[in-house]
Structure 1
Amino acid sequence: MKPSIIIIHLIIMAFSINSYSQKPSDPLAHTFSIVARDANTGEMAVGVQSHWFSVGTGVSWGKAGVGVVATQSFTNRGFGINGLALLESGKTPQEALDILLSDDEGRDFRQVAILDAKGQVATHTGKSCIDFASHLNGKDFSVQANMMLTDNVVPAMEKAWKDNSTLPLAERMVAVLQAAQEQGGDIRGKQSAALLIVASEGSSKPWNDTLIDLRVDDAENPIAELDRLLKVFRAYEHMNKGDYFVEKNEMQNAMLEYNSAMQMFPKNLEMQYWTAITLANDQKIEEASAMLQKIYAQDANWRTLTQRLPKVGLLNVSEEDLKKLLQ
């Protein structure tokens, strides 16, 4: 090989190595997402969908009373933890974003949105994010997407956020994701989705500060599945309230909550079962027994569970009534 050719070859190699080093090795999460705050409750959320496995484990970050972060495209997960720490230290979202990007060699490939507890936002879409890539933001929200099929996705998300202001935050977030998918969404298709909601203020019990954390890691229609899981979550909220009223011996209120749950998922045996047990504890034995017999017919293990409840005080009936419940 001639010296001139060797020099050219080395130059090409050096250029290739340098170009590659500027491209981050972080996991890809080409996707569309929304970070938002409910102006009435102060709750903050991240909603996301992607044709990538388990997108919620990398994109969505939040801390009660502090803020939320969505980090995507070539995902830098450190932006999640560090971004929240910067907000907690008193930085604005824009200051935090500037600091995160300042020493990031992959900034051109990043897409990041940060929202704080005041509803202030800052968003970055790197110039090397794959088309169609853009973002729109305003007070209490930011919508962002990259590698979209069309350039209609982000405007549709913004419109859906504004048009659904009467919905609870969780349902509003799902509506935004649905609007994005209706415009074509991720050019590669669909695979995973997630919804994270944190409280407006932190508490001394941080394990209670994450209000909703739903993830669909791998599904044919992840947004539809996320919507279904949210409905299940709402039903179990009624169940939890029913349990609370049982503890307070407010059986009428307990029954109202259990019935609300059953109306949402009438085929759910768990909801039917504890409604029947509450009826029994309220001395409505015949009604409880009728419900239980139908449950036992579908799964006999529930009868075994009924036998175990008196020992721990969750079923307080006479021996005679217990026999009726176990028939």
Structure 2
Amino acid sequence: QAIDSLIASDQGRDVRQLAILNKNGDVAVYTGKNCIQFAGHIKGKGYSVQANLMATDKVWPAMSKAFENTKAPLAERMMAALKAAENEGGDIRGKQAAAMMVVRAKPTGNIWEDRLVDLRIADHENPIKELGRLLKVHRAYEHMNNGDLAMEHGNSELANKEYSAANKLMPESEEMKFWQAVTLANENKMDEALKLFKIIFRKNQNWKILTPRIADAKLLNVSKKDMERIMKCNE
């Protein structure tokens, strides 16, 4: 009914494409008869894929198949659909932009908590690949934030698991290694912690400067002797 109402009052309906999904998973889709080929849509259980101005008519079927066959969180399923579209030729005009937003099914009322994923690439030579990279970064920082929360609650074991997960996703990140080292030190796993501190301090001395500050803030809780070991580990 919502789509029927919208297109009935739209004089440009023949060139429009529209999809609506409700919280119960019901789907309604419309592709105008004058949308530039190749254009079409497929709706499935709780999802819709649609496309126009595509290089081939294989794009949206490939999107549907990828979305249904990917067993992962929603954002990763959407990413799989976008990659599948690109693999079938994608937009006939070429590549430029990509975006993705995922929100909670049941809102908390706080926008910063309800937007689970909000990524945008306005102009890039390979926007789908860049969107995938940003999603990976986003997931890494989710783990890191969970580690921070665990640290705040004094749960070093959980914090270490979260920082380890973040570090696996972004092994090049100095910050993620740093906080994992801090957590290991707090768990009295000094040999493991020192290996990471040594790597980090050699790359960037600012982390060494920061270390006593986080000790003052009670985020690094080690003995005076162990603190000296940390500060001298890269000498």
| 1:110-161 CA distance string (max 9 Å, x none) | 2111111011111121223211111121331111111111111122122222
Q: Indicate whether 1:138 and 2:71 are aligned.
A: no
What residue in structure 1 maps to residue 13 of structure 2?
Answer: 107
1:1-327 equivalent positions in 2, closer than 5 A: 95-164=1-70, 166-327=71-232
Contact (CA 8 Å) 2:151, 2:219: kept in 1 or not?
Answer: no
* TM score, norm. by length of structure 2: 0.89
Shift in CA distance, 118/301, structure 1 to aligned 2, threshold 3 Å: same
- Give the TM-score normalised by structure 1: 0.66
Residue 326 (structure 1) shift? 2.1
Deviations 1:28-85 (A, max 9, x none): xxxxxxxxxxxxxxxxxxxxxxxxxxxxxxxxxxxxxxxxxxxxxxxxxxxxxxxxxx
The offset of 1:178, in angstroms, is: 1.1
User: Would the alpha carbon gap of residues 265 and 206 (structure 1) be closer, same or farther in structure 2, given more than 3 Å must change?
Assistant: closer
The alpha carbon displacement at 1:193 in A equals: 1.2
Task: Report how far residue 205 of structure 1 moved.
Answer: 2.9
CA pair 159-286 structure 1, distance change in 2 beyond 3 A? closer
Cα shift at 1:241: 2.3
Partners of 1:248 and 1:268 lie apart in 2 by 24
Distance apart, 1:103 and its partner CA: 2.6
Distance in 2, matches of 1:224 and 1:283, equals 40
Q: Contact 2:59/2:90 (CA < 8 Å) preserved in 1?
A: yes
In structure 2, stretches of 5+ residues that fail to align are: none
SS at match of 1:155: helix
Question: In the TM superposition, what whole-angstrom CA distance separates every residue of 1:179-222 from its partner, at most 9, and x where no partner exists?
Answer: 11111110011111112111111224343111111222222221
Instruction: Give the conservation status (yes or no) of the 8 Å contact 2:16–2:32.
Output: yes
Q: CA deviation at 1:98?
A: 2.4
Q: Match for 1:110: what amino acid? A: R
Structure 2 CA distance for aligned equivalents of residues 110 and 269 of structure 1: 47
Query: What is the DSSP-based 3-state SS (H/G/I as helix, E as strand, rest coil) of the residue aligned with 1:173?
Result: helix
Structure 1: tracts of 5 or more residues without a match: 1-94
* Counterpart amino acid of residue 254 in structure 1: A
Separation (CA, whole Å) in 1 of partners of 2:193 and 2:86:
45
What CA distance in whole angstroms lies between the structure 1 residues aligned with 2:46 and 2:213? 50
Structure 1: distance between partners of 2:193 and 2:67: 44
The structure with the greater share of residues assigned to strand is: 1
Q: What letter corresponds to residue 113 of structure 1 in structure 2? A: A
Residues of 1 paired with 2:109 and 2:121: CA distance? 29
Aligned length: 232
Max radius of gyration: which structure? Answer: 1
Code of the aligned partner of 2:78: M
| Aligned counterparts of 1:159 and 1:217: Cα–Cα separation in 2 | 27
Task: Work out which structure has the larger RCO, using CA pairs closer than 8 Å and 6 or more positions apart in sequence.
Answer: 1
Opposite residue 34 of structure 2, the aligned amino acid is S
Aligned-pair CA distance for 1:286:
4.2
CA distance in 1, matches of 2:73, 2:146: 18
What percent identity do the matched residue pairs reach? Answer: 50
Structure in which a larger fraction of residues adopt helix = 2
Query: Structure 1 runs of 4+ off > 6 angstroms?
Result: none
Provide the rounded CA distance (Å) in 1 between the counterparts of 2:5 and 2:84. Answer: 32
Aligned-partner Cα distance in 1 for 2:68–2:220:
48
